[in-house]
Every structure is written in C-alpha cells, then in structure tokens.
Structure 1
Amino acid sequence: MAEQTLANHSDRLNAINIYPVADADTGTNLYLTVRSASQAIAELDNPDVGAVMAAAGRAAMEQARGNSGTLFSVFLSAMAEPLAGQKRLSAPLVAAALHRAQLRSWSALSEPMPGTILSVLEAAARGAAQVETVLNGDDSNHALGKTLDGAVAAAREAVVLTETQLGVLAEAHVVDAGAVGLLLILDCLRSVVVGQPMQEDLLDGLSGYKLQDPNIALTMPEQAGVEVMCTIYLTPLAAAGLRMQLDELGDSVIMSAVSEQADDAGAYPWRVHVHVPSPATALDAIQAVGDPNNVSISALSPNAGNDAHDLL
C-alpha cells in the first residue's frame, strides 16, 4: 500500500523538496526505497512481524535512495528489533518499535535537524507512547488502532510545524517533503493494520501541497556537488573514523549498520550517504578504509545529469 501511495504522491513530494538541497527527488527516492522493501517481503513465507520488518529494512538499506530513503530504511531496520519473534503487532510493541526507530534515526545522522523527517518520527513515537501509557499495556486490536491513531495524529502536527522550524521552508512557505512522505507511510501502516481507508483529510492545509501549487524545487538555485552512497564492511571503530572524516569533507552524512551480523573480522555492513563537492572527495576516503560496493553517485541539482559514470 505504501508503495502505491508514494507512487501517487511522488511528483508533489518532489515539487516541495528543497531541504537539505533542492534536488526535487524526495518523492522518487522514497518510492524506490519502499518498492525495494516491498519486493523483499513479497518473497517471504509466513514470517513473523519482526522478520518482515528486518527483511524490509535490509532491502531498503541496500537500495536506499537519497537522504529520505536512507532514513526510512534506518526506520524500518530499527522497528524490526523490538518485534523480533512476534506473530502480531500490539499497542506496546508499536510504541516500543517507534521509540527504537526514532533513536536510531537521530543517531544515524551526524547533524540531525528538527523540522525534517526526524521530527515527524519523534512525534509519532511520542504520540504512540502517550496513548499506550493510558491503555496500560492493553494488547487488544482496539488498543493497537488507538495507538496508531495517536502516532499518525502527532506525526501530522509535526509535519505542519516543519514550515516554521527551518528557514528555507519558511521562506518558501512549504512543509518538508520527507516529513510528508513519512506521514503517508505511517497512515498506510495504520490503514492496513486497522482495516480502514487512509484519512482523506490527512494532507489538507499542508503548505505547498495543493496540486495547483508551483514546483518550488525547480525555482531554487542550482546546487553544486554530488550525493555519494555505498555499502562497506567496517568495524565500529573504523566506521566512527570514517564518519568523522566525511563530516569534514562534506555534509548530510548518514551512516547506519545494515545488520547486526559481523563477519569473522568483527566488521559490519554499513550504508554510507554523504554530499560532497565531487565523487573523488568521498570515494578516496571510503576506499582508504575498505572496499565499497553498491556505489551510487548522483548530481545534487535536478537540472544536472544524474548518470554516475558521467560524474566520476
């Protein structure tokens, strides 16, 4: 359901994608990342809830696109941890999973910022926890629905606030694209679990989100530089060192372990994301500590060529 919903909304999400760079691809990135997760779980045979989330998270992480896709994949992977071995969702489990997801997502970024997808995830976790606390451990389906309602309602309030939390969004009079994308995903989860349609008024009143509104992203100045993403096996110490170096070389640094399974040398697979002036700036640092795979390189400007081979 989330895959189809994001496909339907990708153009409008792209149109308001101006933070952290105006590259007009948040909708596309979220859709492609969610599609990878959807394809992975379609191949599972009667798994438990945690297995579904874990498989979705791994697939999303390996194929993540952009800031938003990478953070969404961290969100999925983290949610899987409290759900391991569980056959069904419950209000306490949803609250615990959202709490874990917001902690992992904030820690994955070197410079987490309010007014983004992170704020919405934090609000959703808080909203779920508040409802679940009142329900006092009730694991009925009714309690589950109430908890998801609380998460989505809090998430929507956070989306509205993004316009005032970041200067570039306030000047353009739009909400954050990644924040809206996560809101849609959360309401898809609520819809599937409780067996109700998505909320028709969910997006009403969100600045910049009417279909007739202009494409803000394409009116913004071009952004120099590229986005580099890859997967690489590193020990935790080496990963910390690489993060520090990438922080010095570029920005929008995101690093998160793809799985908790280490190899014989104690190294874990890490997904790396960074914005840098040129591909070599990041690749030289990455290749100095390991052998990256699944490398993707894209121009930050929506008007520039996105073919990785042209940018190398």
Structure 2
Amino acid sequence: MKSINGIQFADMVQMGAHHLFQNADYVDALNVFPVPDGDTGTNMNLSMTSGAKETAAHTHDHIGKTAQALSKGLLMGARGNSGVILSQLFRGFGKSIEQLDVLNAKQFADALNYGVETAYKAVMKPVEGTILTVAKDSARKAVEVSEDVDDIRELMEAIVDEAKKSLDRTPDLLPVLKEVGVVDSGGQGLVFVYEGFLASLKGEALPSKTVGSSMDDLVSAEHHMNVQGFMDTADIEFGFCTEFMVRFEEGKKSFDETAFRNDLSEYGDSLLVISDDEIAKIHIHSETPGEVLTYGQQYGDLIKIKIENMRQQHTEIVGEGYSTGAATKKTEVHPYAIVTVAMGTGVSELLKSLGASAVIEGGQTMNPSTEDIVKAVQAVGAERVLILPNNKNIVMAAEQAAEILGIEAAVVPTKTIPQGMAAILAFNPQATVEENKNNMTEAYAHVKTGQVTFAVRDTSIDGVEIKKDDFMALAEGKIVLSKPSLKEVTTSLIKSLMDEESEIVTVIYGEDVSAEDANEFAAFIEEHYKDIEVEVYNGKQPLYPYILSVE
C-alpha cells in the first residue's frame, strides 16, 4: 500500500476513534492524581468522537479535504488539555496535506511531524513524558522509517511500535508517573488511536466491546431520550446524571448485582448496572450524587466518575432559559460579557451575583468542549467577552474558543473557583479586553485556593501517603494531607493557607456538607484568627466538600 486516499483515511479515523472509545475507561484509570475527577480518557474519547463524526459527514476521495473535516471536528469537540492537544496534532497534520489528493508514506510521516510541531506551539509550557512526547517520538520514527519504506502499512506498524515504547518511557521523564507506577494517560490514549489506524490499514478487527463501552450504548438509549422526554425542565425530579465505575476489592463488601441494584434504586431513577467479575459500571439519575458515590465505595475503588446537570441539558435541547446554564437564547447585544465555568448550582449563582454573564455547567467531572464555550458566548450575545475557565484542564479549550469566536475575546486563565471570583471582582466595563485580562489576572494571583475531596485509590504523591476513601487537602493544587477525618483535613488545610497578610476567608461548602458543619468550621477560623473576615456560601458542588479562598 503505497498511498491512501480520503476514503481510506476516513476509515482509519473511525477505527482509531472506536478503539479509543472502547478503552476510554482504562485511560481514565491511569490519571495520576487520586481525585475523583480523572477524565483524560473521557475527554480524548469525546474529542476524537467529534472528529470522527465530522469526518464521516464530509468524507472525500481527496485526502486533504477529509483531513480538514477531521481537524474541524476535533477543534470544536476538543475537551481538556489532552483533547486540545489531540486536536492540535491533527490540525497541523491536516494543514500540511490540505492540497493533496492522496498521501504516500513520506508525506504521511511529514504530516505527523508537522502536527507535532503545531501541538508544541499551542502549549505554553510543554511537559515531556506526556502525550506530546509520545506523538513526537512516534513522528520522528515515522520520518526516519519513511526514508527507506514506502509501504504505509509498514510505516504505521513502526509508528505504533515506537509510540508504545515512548509510552513505556514516560515514567522516566515525569517523576510523578514513576512515583505512582503508571504511564501517561494521554499518551496511552494516542496509542489507542494509532492502533486503530493500523487495524484499519491491515483490515483487522479490533477487540470486542468491554463492560464500560456497552454501558455507553444503554445510556444513549435511555438517558438522552429521558432528558428530551420531559415537557418542562421543572418536571425533572432527579437532576444529576451520575455515572461511575467500581473496581471490586478484597476486604470490601461482597458484590451482588441484584442487591446492589435494589439499594441504588432508592437514590433515583433510570438506573443501569452492568458488571463482570472485576468491575461494575453504574448509571443513575439522582438528586444526591454524592450519596450514590458513597454507597458505591463500599464495594471497591471508584475509578471513573461523571456527573452532568440534566436540567441544563434539557434547556439546551428545548431552548428554555436556565439560571445556571449557558444556552439561554438572547437577541439583545451587550457591549461586554464574562463567561465562566463551574460545578454546583450554588457556585453558579455566586459567580453570577459577582457579575458573570453566563456560567457553563462543568469542571471537575466534565470539561466543556471548545464548541460548548463558543455556544455559551454566542448565546450571551456580546461584542467583547472574557472567558474564565476556573480549571487548569479547560484553559486550552477556552483559548481555542477565543480564537474562533470572531469577536474581541480573551481568556483570563483562572484555574480555580476562588481565582475566578477574584478575577470577576476586578472587571472594569470601561477598560479594553486586554486591560481587563491583565488586571483580572493580577487580581487572582493574590488569592490562595484550598480544596478538600476524597481519594479514589491508595497511592503516594510528594511524600504524602494516601489511602482510598480518605479525605485529601489540596493547597494550590498540591496534595498536602490525607486523613479519614473531614474535620481534621479541613482545619489543617486552612492553617496551611493562612499567613500574616491574610484578611478574608471564603468557605464554599458542597452538597454533602450541612450548613451546621460549615458554620462550625467558620467559627473555628474566627476563633483562631481574630482579625479575619469569614464568608460562607452553599456551593452545592459535588465531590469537593469544601472549596476555600484566602485573600
């Protein structure tokens, strides 16, 4: 096979997307941090699926045109840093071959290499030992092999082989991977894509579906029809679509699927449970996803969690207004808008009260795509916009959205909710977009963020021994403590954040924390730090009992 056309490339894309889809749960499980929001596999899967759909809809014999369709689909569907990097890899790939009818081995190798160069330029501070390294090493091998090999199948075999070897080397380049004992999750996702490419070229079948992927089919059949079936958003009794996987462990409660299903049915509706000897995957609509997750932990390790607000999904489908969503239809054009991202209706209301024009539902468990952000901005109808991601894994998607909006737009690269709050307060409607970006960025730099969540597995990071199900304290994104007691972890965290210049502490408590407990914590702060002003808000956020801001 000395060349491929657009139709053959489209099949490679479909096979690559399908193979990644089948293994997305495994990629999620490789996330290093033991927090309940590891979603690299989910993000890459949704990004690649978007690219595959656009490719299928615009397949040409002309490979350049087919590659452009893939590039467009990936660009709009890109979620999370891994998804954005994947989109940049194939953006460069597509750009380099846009004039070609067919692609030979040498051109294929050069296109992969150009894609790597494009991706590296898109990342402000590239880190080796990640998907970038796997892409770079395999592209270099492709260029080297293409000097002597003109069979594209043979070339792709070399690419896959080198990608796997590079993936195995990632722990040597990124110490935290070696410390935890895993390879890079994004790099693994790219290997799955390339394996799909090779299977397509060789006419081989991919492995059969797993427990995780068959659940996705059932969810598509039940959940999404369920959301659209409501006549009114207010009719949705159980508002949060909750999906997670339990990896069974010895010493934990013995799993009986019938009993498990009966117990979970008390927490909501649209319950789906699929299991084998090692894993169970669960889908349920519930008002209390935190309680559902706590129940699941009795049986083993939670390795994947996704929580979506169905009330927002419904309003986006039927075009209704929704106070915390971003899909409200407006005709009025505003001179300025602030669009931000958050999980939890209370957090969304808080951000809007500070001045946010729209809050996209998302964050820890579901990163919005580039297209989600674009649509949110367009729904607001503004001449100028500032986008606040409030999550380090959303910054790159936000920057892609800003580039293609066609209006004055800038990203204030906030990585936490407290940073977002401080940035919004520094907004000046009389200033230019660039002036606001600089001022808001400077404002949030003076804010320290603390977060409390729970560990999804045993591990050790930065010298902190972490036990599954313990509460973890994160100061400025770094795990500093892991203990069974929520009270002990939270009080220790606030002590680590305070210094002589601290004046204001904001406590945002989650859906699993009572107002009494939150106020007791606030009283503790006031007692130990006499001159500190303490503000308490019910954020109703899942997974994170407390989010703390210290200014």
Deviates more, 1:66-75 or 1:254-263: 254-263
Larger Cα Rg: Structure 1 or Structure 2? 2
- Would you say the 8 A contact 1:16–1:215 is kept in 2? no
Output the CA distance in 2 between the equivalents of 1:301 and 1:35: 30
Tell me the alpha carbon deviations over residues 265-301 of structure 1, each in whole angstroms, 9 at most, x when there is no partner: 9x8x99x7956112736985999639xxxxxxxx997
- Would you say the 8 A contact 2:43–2:78 is kept in 1? yes
Output the CA distance in 1 between the equivalents of 2:134 and 2:194: 10
Match of 2:433 among 278, 289, 293: 289
Find the counterpart in structure 1 of residue 396 from structure 2: 254
| Paired AA for residue 254 in structure 1 | M
Find the counterpart in structure 2 of residue 203 from structure 1: none
Match of 1:127 among 141, 146, 151: 141
Asked which structure has the greater RCO (Cα within 8 Å, sep 6+), the reply is 1
| Paired AA for residue 276 in structure 1 | K
| Paired AA for residue 86 in structure 1 | L
Match of 1:116 among 103, 126, 130: 130
Aligned in 2, Cα 1:73/1:300: closer, same or farther, shift over 3 Å?
A: farther
Find the counterpart in structure 2 of residue 154 from structure 1: 162
Output the CA distance in 1 between the equivalents of 2:412 and 2:207: 33
Find the counterpart in structure 2 of residue 96 from structure 1: 110
Output the CA distance in 1 between the equivalents of 2:162 and 2:76: 30
Tell me the alpha carbon deviations over residues 231-269 of structure 1, each in whole angstroms, 9 at most, x when there is no partner: 679xxxxxxxx99x99xx985653776899996x9x8x9
Find the counterpart in structure 1 of residue 415 from structure 2: 276
Aligned in 2, Cα 1:146/1:106: closer, same or farther, shift over 3 Å?
A: same
Find the counterpart in structure 2 of residue 10 from structure 1: 24
| Paired AA for residue 10 in structure 1 | A
SS of 2:396's equivalent in the other structure is: strand
Tell me the alpha carbon deviations over residues 146-173 of structure 1, each in whole angstroms, 9 at most, x when there is no partner: 2211111111111001122212211111
Match of 2:74 among 60, 63, 84: 60
Specify every segment of 5 or more residues in structure 2 that has no aligned partner in the other structure, as ranges.
Answer: 1-14, 209-276, 280-299, 305-341, 344-362, 378-385, 435-450, 457-509, 512-538, 543-551
Output the CA distance in 2 between the equivalents of 1:119 and 1:51: 28
SS of 2:101's equivalent in the other structure is: coil
Aligned in 2, Cα 1:6/1:130: closer, same or farther, shift over 3 Å?
A: same
Aligned in 2, Cα 1:123/1:273: closer, same or farther, shift over 3 Å?
A: farther
Q: TM-score, normalised by structure 2?
A: 0.41
Aligned in 2, Cα 1:146/1:212: closer, same or farther, shift over 3 Å?
A: same
Residue 40 of structure 1, CA deviation: 0.9
Find the counterpart in structure 2 of residue 194 from structure 1: 202
CA RMSD of the aligned region, Å?
A: 4.4
Specify every segment of 5 or more residues in structure 1 that has no aligned partner in the other structure, as ranges.
Answer: 201-210, 219-223, 234-241, 291-298
Aligned in 2, Cα 1:12/1:157: closer, same or farther, shift over 3 Å?
A: same
Structure with more of its chain in helix, by fraction:
1
SS of 2:183's equivalent in the other structure is: coil
Aligned in 2, Cα 1:180/1:310: closer, same or farther, shift over 3 Å?
A: same
Residue 91 of structure 1, CA deviation: 0.5
How many percent of aligned residue pairs carry the same amino acid? 24
- Would you say the 8 A contact 1:276–1:282 is kept in 2? no
| Paired AA for residue 107 in structure 2 | L
Find the counterpart in structure 2 of residue 84 from structure 1: 98
Report 1:149-228 matches (<5 A): 149-197=157-205, 226=363
- Would you say the 8 A contact 1:19–1:176 is kept in 2? no
Aligned in 2, Cα 1:257/1:24: closer, same or farther, shift over 3 Å?
A: closer
- Would you say the 8 A contact 1:106–1:112 is kept in 2? yes
Say how many residue pairs are matched. Answer: 265
- Would you say the 8 A contact 1:18–1:216 is kept in 2? no
Structure with more of its chain in strand, by fraction:
2
Tell me the alpha carbon deviations over residues 178-202 of structure 1, each in whole angstroms, 9 at most, x when there is no partner: 11000010111122123334599xx
Deviates more, 1:190-199 or 1:34-43: 190-199
- Would you say the 8 A contact 1:115–1:166 is kept in 2? yes
